[in-house]
Chains A and B, each alone.
Chain A
Amino acid sequence: GQNIDQPTEMTATEGAIVQINCTYQTSGFNGLFWYQQHAGEAPTFLSYNVLDGLEEKGRFSSFLSRSKGYSYLLLKELQMKDSASYLCASMDSNYQLIWGAGTKLIIKP
């Protein structure tokens, strides 16, 4: 079956670095997405990886290892506004997104 696993909740300190892991098993693979969702709001796109390696975008970076079925989202210089849920989603061979349940990130001062 198809499955996306990511931790339910993580806590980090303002100004620090946090890494949110995601493992995926899908029928085929056409890329891995990360979305951010603040409480009560819609998800917003953060990143897309389809090749192995690290993609950096400002304070956020996303890594992919296709052989391991593994990705992570790295957030640097954490700010209070980064408190949100981070959703990992894998696109399968039919170009359908398979979503994880999200990781709730709590930032403490």
Chain B
Amino acid sequence: DTAVSQTPKYLVTQMGNDKSIKCEQNLGHDTMYWYKQDSKKFLKIMFSYNNKELIINETVPNRFSPKSPDKAHLNLHINSLELGDSAVYFCASSRPGSGDPTGELFFGEGSRLTVL
């Protein structure tokens, strides 16, 4: 069974459209994250959720909104897509909350978003 799964894996869309990426983890972890990896390969955290509460928001544009119906799911909705949003988006989870220093992350396979 896949530990962290996200869909779709590939997404090609036009500027101005709205799209969502879904993520689910079956590890029983308390914290889930969304990361953006751009063409320069930097991993940048966008959001993290701990027990359905947003605990980090790294000043991403309001067009990005995370939604967590329960602690096993963290979806990412993007409004009015722009060219600069093209990247690979990774969902991840970790067992403890952000206060645990071991903090090993388990990543999903990534969703490659291309905005035309």
Contacts and interface: CB of A to CB of B under 8 A. Distances in A.
Interface stretch (B13-21, B59-67, B73-81, B105-113): B105-113
A97 B104 CA distance: 10
Interface in B1-45: 4, 40-45
A97 B109 contact: no
Given A31-B101, A50-B101, A91-B101, A96 B56 contact: yes
B107 A42 contact: yes
Given A30-B103, A45-B104, 7 more contacts: A42-B110, A44-B107, A48-B103, A85-B41, A95-B100, A97-B43, A99-B44
Interface in A8-37: 30-31, 33, 35
B-side interface mostly: loop
Interface residues of B, number: 22
Contact of A91 (B40, B56, B103, B107): B103
A48 B101 CA distance: 10
Contact of B109 (A42, A99, A102): A42
B41 A101 contact: yes
Contacts of A30: 101, 103
* Contact-residue size bin, chain A (C-beta under 8 Å from the other chain): 20 to 34
Contacts of A45: 104-106
Interface in A44-94: 44-45, 48, 50, 85, 87, 89, 91, 94
Interface string B84-111: 0000001000000011111111111110
